[in-house]
Each structure stands twice: as C-alpha cells, then as structure tokens.
Amino acid sequence: MKESGGLERRIGTFQAITINMSQMMGAGPFITIPLVLTTMGGPQAMFGWIAGAVLALLDGQIWSELGSSLPGEGGTYNYLKAAFHDRTGNLMPFLFIWSVLLATPLTLSSGAIGLANYMTYFFPALTGLQTKLIAVAVTLLATVLLYRRVTSVAKISLVLWLGMILTVILIVITGLLHFDPQLAFDFPQGAFAPNKFLLGLGAGMLLSIYDYLGYYTSAYMGDELREPGKTLPRSITLSIILVALIDLSMNIGIIGYVPWREAAHSANVGSLFMTRAWGPWGGAIITVLIIWTCFASVYTGLLGASRIPYNAAKDGVFFKKFAHLHPKMKFPNYSLVVIGLIMVICCFFDLTTVINALMAVQIVVQFMMQIIALSVLRRKHPHLNRPYKEWLYPIPSIIAFLGWGFVFFSSGASAISLAVTWTIIGILVFWGRTWYVNHVKPAMTTGGQDVDN
C-alpha cells in the first residue's frame, strides 16, 4: 500500500517495536552506567533508571494518543501544528523541526561516540581524534545503508535488533550466574539523605531517560505503519516496558559482580564485566556485540529522524528541498543526508556534553510543548478520532510535565543556555523566512525570478 506522497505502509507492530528498541538500547546502558553511578554516588543509581522508566511510560501515553489520532510522517511536528496553528501559525512546528536539526544529530552522535569508545577495547592506543574519526565513519556508513527502500531498511533493522537482543541476553544471564547482592546493594553512608538524593536523582534521570530515548521513533513514520492507530501505541508501550526490564537487569547485574566504585570509573563497563566473568574471549565477544548494538541505534534513529523535516517541508513549513523523495527508492534522501552531515560535526564533542545538550534542547520544544498540545487538542477537537486515549487524563500529563521540567533544570547551565540560544535563533530564522516568503519572493517572482525558499 502507498500513500499519495509515495511512502509505503509496510511496517507492522513487531517491526515497529524492533525499530524503537534498536534506537532505545543502542549505546545507552553501556555508556551511561558509569555516568549514573558517578552522578548518584552508588547503587541508588537504580532509582534513577526506575524514575526514567516511569517518566518514559507517562510520556508514552501522550505520544500514543497523539500518534494514533494524528498519524503521519513527522510525529511531534504534526501534533504541534494541529494544536497551535490557530494562534501562532507555523511557528511551533517550525521550531520543532529547527530543534530536530540539532537534537537528533546530538542524540545519534552519542551512539556513534559510544561505539567508538568501545573500539578502544581492541585498540587501546587509539587517540581521542582517532576515536572521533571512527564515530564519523560510523555515521557515514549508517547513512549509506539507509539509502534504500523502506522494506529493505526494515529487514536490516530486524537483523540489527537480533544482535542487540543477543547482547542483552548474554549480559543478563552472566549477571544472574555471578550475582552478589552485597555488591549490588552496597549503598554508601548517607546515600538516601533527602537533599543529596534528590539532587543526584535529577542528574541521574537526565542520563537514564537518555537510555529510553527512541520509544517514539515509530511515531515519526506514521505514513509507513500498517494500522497506525493500533501499531503505534503498542510499539511505544511495549518498547518502554521491555527496555526498562532489560536496563534494570543489566545495570543491577553488572554492579552485582563488578563493585560499583570500579564500574563507575570504567570507560567500557560491559567489556570489563564480561572479561572478568568469562576471560578475554568473553570480553571480545560482548564488545563486538555492543558495537553492533550501538550501530543499530544510530541506524534506526537516523531512519526515523530523516522523516521529520520531510513532512514539514512537504507542508511548506520548512525549507522545501527537504521534501524531496528519491525518485526510485521513495525515501527522503535530502533530509537523510543533511542530518547525517550535522551528525558528523556532533561526533567531535565530548559525550557528557552531547547528552546534556540534546536533553535540554528536546525537552522544552518537544516533550513539554507536546503535553500542552494534547490538552489543547482535547479542548479544541473533542470529537477527533482517538483510537487510543491517555489513561486517567490529565494526571499522567501533569506528572510528565513536572518530570520533564525537573530533568531540564538538572541539565546544567551550559546545556540550558544552548537550548535557549538555539530556540531564539530558530525564532529569528522563522521570522526572517516568513518575511522573505511573504514580501521578497513574490516581488522576485513577479520580476521574472523564482528563487527556491
């Protein structure tokens, strides 16, 4: 089946789950375990992952209702446009696409950086620059592999997902066989002192929610999903639940064998864990699989993200070159290449900086505004077809909004400054483009010149 724009509805529930989970798992738990342990100062880091899972599930309710009632390529873009167009015109959907051009490459580059860091297990003499160049090569490879029909992409996603599942199974089983509860729950003195715990929880949630990012990837591909009203809510909810169980099992299993103080200072904690359990061969095998998993997150994330500017450009809200589809293989090739190139630049930044920045940029324009959009649409369009409705509305929305605010203010002054600055620049670009389209371009067209916007 094809949409009028040429996109094909080929992705079912299982494939949508594999796409979401591949993006969610990726580098996340393998690079954030040391970071969260350091941030929260001990095994109480598990509460950071639990809190992150709860926030993701609550936010998944919002995505499920909006995605099932407004299915289409672009996800949040569609929701913000439907909710705010009457009052602010195309400003909010434009700002979302603008944020995507920074937040998405930041998100995906973290996976490429994580992959490159695990390469040091095999090549410990790699310099910082060489590691970054490996991340760049990973980005270019993912872009090349996505240059094909969506049916082929779905098959590749399934293969990558199977490698990810094998990685998880090996780590979880090893954790169970070597689990020591005294190590896993070796809480330091004062671990739960209210001020210290809450301060650490905010920073810990920022890192743990990063591990869940991607549960909404299928929402960006609404025009390529079979029965989106059913497929989308199922893929989002099941992806979050499965990844939460996997992450907690891995995190607790690892610090139940490797003392948390040692794990907190390991750049390749997954490799350290398996090497200690099964020797060098065990470490080598799991490192290869972790690299495989990291690549899966980059690949599937770039797949979903490339569809967002495409839909906006097709509607005339964003620069129209992004609406271009490959003439034979029917995918948004211009959008894919541009995001891939920005991602190459992001690969040269520090991992912690990347994670903090991407979270701050996404939270305000996307997650928090999307929650407001759901309430606006409920009031403006009460009879809109909603195959899925948020349970216990508006309680999940209120809790999720407060949770995202808590995480945003925990991201740090530099990340918040970046988010605010990028948003202000986006507003100025929007006003400049609007003025050009409404005043300059008509005059140039009348004078015999038609300039691309």
* Residue 443 burial (CB count, 10 A): 9
Structural domain contains residue 440: no
Q: Which domain holds residue 84?
A: 13-413
**Which pair of tokens denotes residue 250?**
């891995």
Structural domain contains residue 336: yes
Confidence class of residue 158 from pLDDT cuts 50, 70 and 90? confident
Which DSSP letter does residue 365 get? Answer: I
Structural domain contains residue 445: no
Domain count across the chain: 1
**Is 413's pLDDT higher than 60?**
yes
Structural domain contains residue 2: no
Structural domain contains residue 391: yes
**pLDDT digits over 304-346, tens only?**
677 778 777 887 888 878 887 766 766 777 888 888 888 898 8
Cα pseudo-dihedral 176, 122, 290, 111, rounded to 10: 140
Structural domain contains residue 103: yes
Quote the pLDDT of residue 4. Answer: 43
For residue 73, give the nearest of 9, 26, 144, 152 by alpha carbon: 9
Mean pLDDT, to the nearest integer, of 116-145? 89
Q: Please state, in angstroms and rounded to a whole number, the distance separating the CA atoms of residues 203 and 205.
A: 5
**pLDDT digits over 265-314, tens only?**
887 888 999 999 999 999 999 999 888 888 877 887 777 677 778 777 88
Cis peptide before 387 (omega within 30 of 0): no
Question: Angle at the Cα of 404 (from 400 to 410), degrees rounded to 5?
Answer: 145
Confidence class of residue 2 from pLDDT cuts 50, 70 and 90? very low
How far does the chain reach from its first CA to its final CA, in angstroms? 32
**pLDDT digits over 192-219, tens only?**
888 888 878 887 888 888 888 888 888 8
**pLDDT digits over 432-442, tens only?**
988 887 777 67
Quote the pLDDT of residue 157. Answer: 66
Structural domain contains residue 137: yes
Quote the pLDDT of residue 293. Answer: 80
Structural domain contains residue 109: yes
Quote the pLDDT of residue 448. Answer: 53
- CATH assignment of the domain containing 192: 1.20.1740.10
Q: Please state, in angstroms and rounded to a whole number, the distance separating the CA atoms of residues 192 and 413.
A: 25
Q: Please state, in angstroms and rounded to a whole number, the distance separating the CA atoms of residues 286 and 308.
A: 34
